[in-house]
Structure 1
């Protein structure tokens, strides 16, 4: 199969080395060695991304804009085939090839605060450089990806249709998630507030989507499949969800799930170093809300899937999604307990007084 894909790029399998690469769960990725050059080959998950050609259109549009206005910025455009295409459809699958960025590395875990700072700065820089790009011209590659109102409706529907056993098991989690429905109401108010700007937003800001150099300085962001029009709360919120606690979402010892203040400060410093002049006063006021938004949404999604018999995420064991929902709810409660202190830190780092 790989042999046939490489032919599109004028590469012969006998002249290449091929090995599985990375820890991504959505797309299948290989590292291709071809003489002195190395490439990343990806098969796009067509079950998740129903229209891969929309991803390709977005990436090429952004690449064209950045090469024209910010030619020094490293943007990972797909390699063209011999027929000048950047997306291949082979049989029922879709593929693209990228040049491997020399001397770059990625991380799966945020090992210390400065990594969080560098990652936040790179995601913010990406959005800032594209501030004048017409975000609403981007194609929607994952409809309703961060639509919290929809996720809450799906949660309520799952409660209505769940088995008695799973409903009884989830009683306490359901009550806790319902008690935080104000997070949904705040989201719906935000959508009506013109002070919240629609921007080019990455939507998947985990640490593994940043390339670092040998000095652990951020180089650029990668994995642009989810780049769509959106709000800053999606990117900042996903960083908070995945950087703030040392315990990942699979951790079942909930005593290990809590917000680390130093990592919060690193996210704020990194993001605001690039975006402080881009964000409105109303957006700054909702900086901590971004974390609440994303953590709450993920808790809803995990419990919804558990109530629906694990039809979306699947489950490695019976209580897998139940436990992940409990994990995210614990992180949300830790964030809520520190909300005022953390929001004051945002204003402190900006050198501004809190807005009442």
Structure 2
């Protein structure tokens, strides 16, 4: 999103348009992100606009990040956690006409990938997300606020699907008949979630573990740190690991319409599990370890429900480029879910082998 950055935002951080160069960067669809280069030193920063249509309580985001940063600084001072910088007035955000902005340090010699091209990248990314959760194992997640209410609440998402189905016009329901049937048939995943959710401990989770939210060394692709901390809030481990499964295991995104291409890359799965368990294997409970593969079903099913619900509602949430795109996205995710189910025994064997390394 192209936004004009008012001079007051720049001044809030001690800069002017005369001593700073601004360049829009990033591939995210929610917040606007800009690279600021200070002149003549060439010191770099990342300036980000917080989309209050999605994040209705930006102060909760700022407070969460500040609380976590304080804990990490005290307990793990060498860990790289790129928390936002304070304004010249000591605020953790700058504001202008109801808009909220934050400035973060730029991490040199790193890259944020849009797509994975090797199992090593999956390993390093999963390891970084796991490391953040492990370091925060001693932090009381109750000190954090939910920045998006019900974000990964499968009960809520299924209720939204039922409401969308009840209110959808006949043409939409007819067009999506097979996907509606599949979504209902997979309701056992919701039932499994209800059975285990209260025995899984609350942890500080990232909740958006796609590959572009971790920085890798631009040459070696070794993991450096986790970024995009808007959804850092209390949750279950199945949120982070499940989102990695959803976004790492298939070569193609949810926008792919040749559904024959939606397959699981077992070598990426093995690398992701190994990287995550390298960090988290020693602190996961027995019930959490038993739910590792379920995490993929949980998140993929939830995303399929969200796409299908939005289609039935007339595509009012996810941006589309053609009328049936959200239906196609739902088909895509249902195919990915079926692939996970069909290969469950093989994937569980991979998990068991990785778990043996951390016992």
Which of 78, 92, 103 is matched with 1:97 structurally? 103
Asked whether the equivalents of residues 285 and 343 of structure 1 are also in contact (C-alpha less than 8 Å), the reply is: no
User: Which of 198, 209, 216 is the equivalent residue of 1:192?
Assistant: 198
Pick the aligned partner of 1:27 from 16, 31, 37.
31
* Structure 2: distance between partners of 1:251 and 1:281: 36
**Counterparts of 1:150 and 1:15, CA distance in 2:** 48
Give the equivalent residue in structure 2 for 1:56.
62
User: Per-residue CA shift, 1:268-291, capped at 9, x if unaligned?
Assistant: 100000011111122111111100
Q: Deviations over 1:312-331 (max 9, x none)?
A: 11321110100000000000
Partner in structure 1 of residue 179 of structure 2: 173
C-alpha contact 2:154 2:190 (8 A) present in aligned 1: yes
Equivalence for 2:232? 227
The number of residue pairs the alignment matches comes to 351
The equivalent residue for 2:298 is: 293
Cα contact 2:160–2:309 (8 A) shared by 1:
yes
1:248 and 1:137 mapped to 2: Cα distance?
Answer: 35
Aligned equivalent of 2:213 = 209
Superposed CA RMSD in Å reads 1.1
Compute the displacement of 1:33 (Å).
Answer: 0.7
Q: Which moved more, 1:322-331 or 1:309-318?
A: 309-318
| Cross-structure match for 1:266 | 271
81-90 or 240-249: bigger deviation: 81-90
CA–CA separation in structure 1 for the residues paired with 2:308 and 2:323: 13
Once the two structures are superposed, residues 291-342 of structure 1 have per-residue CA deviations (whole angstroms, 9 ceiling, x without a partner) of: 0000000000000000000011132111010000000000000000011211
Q: What is the 5 A alignment of 1:1-356?
A: 1-2=4-5, 3-35=7-39, 36-193=42-199, 196-213=200-217, 214-351=219-356
SS at match of 1:159: helix
**Unmatched 5+ stretches in structure 1:** none
TM-score normalised over the length of structure 2: 0.96
TM-score by length of 1: 0.97
Structure 2: gaps spanning 5 or more residues: none
